[in-house]
A and B are shown apart, each in its own frame.
Chain A
């Protein structure tokens, strides 16, 4: 019994000591934190970088609490930037201008400036991977022009521009690349990486200059860790098909035999197989795509209930997908010669020995790889109308 009293006493004493000491450890009140919502990295005039942080201002939200939160155009964040040799250096300098401690845990967006990306990003990625606060799930972007400009924007629909960029990325219209993905790509066999490219839609007339909207304009292509160029959103679609990342697509085509008008389908279920093969010493990639979706709009006079015409529509969509893929291959594989399609990994997995031999001259092998496509489109449902709408019945082509 006696020793139990002692133990209770000991624990109480320990608790007391803990409490006395805890002030100087890791306890940080939320009021002393500067929540970074986005960070932008640019090249400065000399060798270093310029880091900009978008920091959330709680007071701005607190002032009109109870009402609508923030609302369009109201400034919830402030942007602070500083120059430095690297991120760590720049952060320490920004910290001198911020009364609150920089907290990276909620930074979901990192924007790399175009010029900075051309110089090489590896050095700064190390900070993001090593520091325990920045999240591996944060989204990475490259911006056309200076990255800081994307942070200064006040998009009307979202609370702050970082939120906007994150949501755009999650829509998966372009690429969606997290920090982890980017780091894996940079360190992978392909030695190439791709990031979504941001551009700024200029504000409408009469709006504040800061009311521009960032949007995903294409894909930035990295070789080694340097930006070598970018491709358009159209080409990006081809890349998405090639890298099996296609999720939502809206394909609009004019069937060859149709007199006028376009049809649009919304494929939403894809089965994509990418099979690397070495046939007679020739390196090939067989891409088989099976996709299915609903008819969304039919501007032609074709009746989709007719199976022949339906097949013709499907063929047209297939051609469209094939065109996109070829466009992507042309730009990425033939022109840029950057393996953002991950062919190196594929061959490494399937043909480890052969890959081992070409490993060091992959740059030469990569552009010579043939890509064979095998695309099947299946239009599953016509939607709520059968025949084309609003044209006289006798003009509808039923056969």
Chain B
């Protein structure tokens, strides 16, 4: 096996939480709010079903092929050539996803706090750190997540508590003014992120306590959903139904915090904490990518590919998107469908094929 380290189920849950919440939390109220308006807080609940499906399929596939990742069992299920082809597609999907993620991060920083800092510096430092983390192995990432994510959550709760005094619950009403449709429409972009729970398929083989895995992945899913619901609720109560007019509603909300006229304008702190959460996200995806590549190429160690793939990610983050507007358009209209295709639909199909194969082979044995 390529990876000798082991992580605990709790560490896995922290990694998944960061991987999904990481980038999305800043812009989700605006993205969902475009459609959902007053019902923006309902959208993450619908979207969480995508996460549910992703986790379920990953589990089922895992039970058929324990100790293998999707890159490996795709080849087992579909046969060597189509399997490798699908594996390649997955790697491309994830590297593009990570490239765009890093770009979102860098655009955010440049757009809000460091307007004159070159993008390449932000992207490169982040990827450098991720690569260092990946070279340390899954144990290091797991431990980092275990330290970072609880801090992230505490900061999040503190942030919500600080915004709360400025909130006005009246903004919630009327609930479901136009029926369920707006909230369902608003749930499509977040579904793309929730589907990222499929990253679990890269972590499951390395669990030291597989028995608790299920429990902890539900914990991760529920916490993620709750976090996004609470974010949307608070933002809605603060800004009213026109939240989509803000690029980063959560950031604007933190700018509004004031405690005793002294603790003010703390958005830089929030940004810093958000960055550290993002680091976990990018590391997890980068790890999946590096491990997957090594498995795809049948290498004996995955560490040597960490740098090259990091550099590729940097390049991809610059390639595709001319502007933040284009990136936003991509994340709202294109990415969810890609993400759902790769992280729920194809795994489900794989599962179906695997199931049929399994049944057939069993039938052969009995006859």
- Whether the pair B170, A26 counts as a contact (CB closer than 8 A) is no
Counting CB contacts under 8 A, is B362 at the interface?
Answer: no
Instruction: List residues of A whose CB falls within 8 A of some B CB.
Output: 3, 7, 10, 14, 18, 21, 24-26, 105, 132, 135-137, 178, 180, 184, 187-188, 345, 348-350, 352
- 29 cross-chain CB contacts under 8 A: A3-B135, A10-B128, A14-B128, A18-B121, A24-B116, A25-B114, A25-B116, A25-B117, A25-B118, A26-B116, A26-B117, A132-B111, A132-B113, A132-B115, A135-B255, A135-B265, A136-B255, A136-B256, A137-B256, A180-B239, A184-B239, A187-B245, A345-B170, A348-B174, A349-B170, A349-B173, A350-B173, A350-B174, A352-B177
| CA–CA, A355 and B300, complex, Å | 68
Top 4 nearest A-B pairs by Cβ distance? Answer: A349-B173, A352-B174, A26-B114, A25-B117
Say how far A2's CB is from chain B's closest CB, in angstroms: 13
Q: Is the CB of B174 within 8 A of A132?
A: no
CA distance A348 to B175 in the complex (A): 11
Give Cα A352–Cα B116 distance, bound, in whole angstroms: 46
Flag if A26 contacts B115 (CB, 8 Å). Answer: yes
Closest to B251 in A: A132
Per-position binary interface string of chain B over residues 9-20, scored 1 when its CB falls under 8 Å from any chain A CB and 0 otherwise:
000000000000
Given contacts A7-B132, A14-B128, A132-B113, 16 further A-B contacts (CB under 8 A): A18-B121, A24-B116, A25-B116, A26-B116, A132-B111, A132-B115, A136-B255, A136-B256, A137-B255, A180-B239, A180-B252, A184-B242, A187-B242, A349-B173, A349-B174, A350-B174
Q: Is the CB of A137 within 8 A of B117?
A: no
Across-interface contacts of A136 in B (CB, < 8 A): 252, 255-256
Across the interface, do A180 and B256 meet the contact criterion of CB distance under 8 Å? yes
**Contact residues in A for B252 (Cβ distance below 8 Å):** 136, 180
Question: Contact string, B248-281, partner A, CB cutoff 8 A, digits 1/0?
Answer: 0000100110100000110000000000000000
Q: How far is the CA of A320 from the CA of B344 in the complex (A)?
A: 66
Which residues of chain B (132-175) have a CB below 8 Å from chain A? Answer: 132, 135, 170, 173-174
**Interface assignment of B112: CB less than 8 Å from any CB of chain A:** yes
Residues of the B chain whose Cβ atoms lie less than 8 Å from the Cβ of A348: 174
Residue in contact with A132 in the complex, picked from B112, B125, B135, CB distance below 8 Å: B112
> B173: which A residues are within 8 A, CB to CB?
349-350
Residue of B nearest to A28 (CB): B116
Contact between B128 and A188, CB atoms less than 8 A apart: no
Contacting residues, chain A, for B125 (C-beta < 8 A): 14
Please, how many angstroms separate the alpha-carbon atoms of A25 and B119 in the complex? 11
A107 to chain B, nearest CB (A): 12
- Min CB gap B132→A, angstroms: 7
B99 at the interface (CB under 8 A from A): no
| Contact partners of A349 in chain B: CB under 8 A | 170, 173-174
B240 within 8 Å of A (CB atoms): yes
Report the Cα distance A348→B241, complex, angstroms.
12
Bound-state CA distance A172–B170 (Å) is 22
**Chain A residues, Cβ within 8 Å of B115:** 26, 132
Given the known interface contacts A132-B111, A188-B240, the answer about A137 and B245 at a Cβ–Cβ threshold of 8 Å is no
Contacts of A25 in B (CB 8 A): 114, 116-118
B145 to chain A, nearest CB (A): 21
Q: How far is the CB of B26 from chain A (nearest CB, A)?
A: 14
**Bound state CA distance, A17 and B145, in angstroms?**
29
Kindly state the separation between the CA atoms of A136 and B114 in the bound complex, as whole angstroms. 19
Bitwise, B349-364 to A at CB < 8 A (1) or not (0) is 0000000000000000
- How long is the Cα–Cα vector from A345 to B241 in the complex, in angstroms? 11
> Looking at A14, A132, A350, which has the most chain B CB atoms within 10 Å of its CB?
A132
Question: Roughly how many angstroms separate A329 CA and B291 CA in the complex, as a whole number?
Answer: 70
Report the bound CA distance from A106 to B354 in whole Å.
Answer: 62
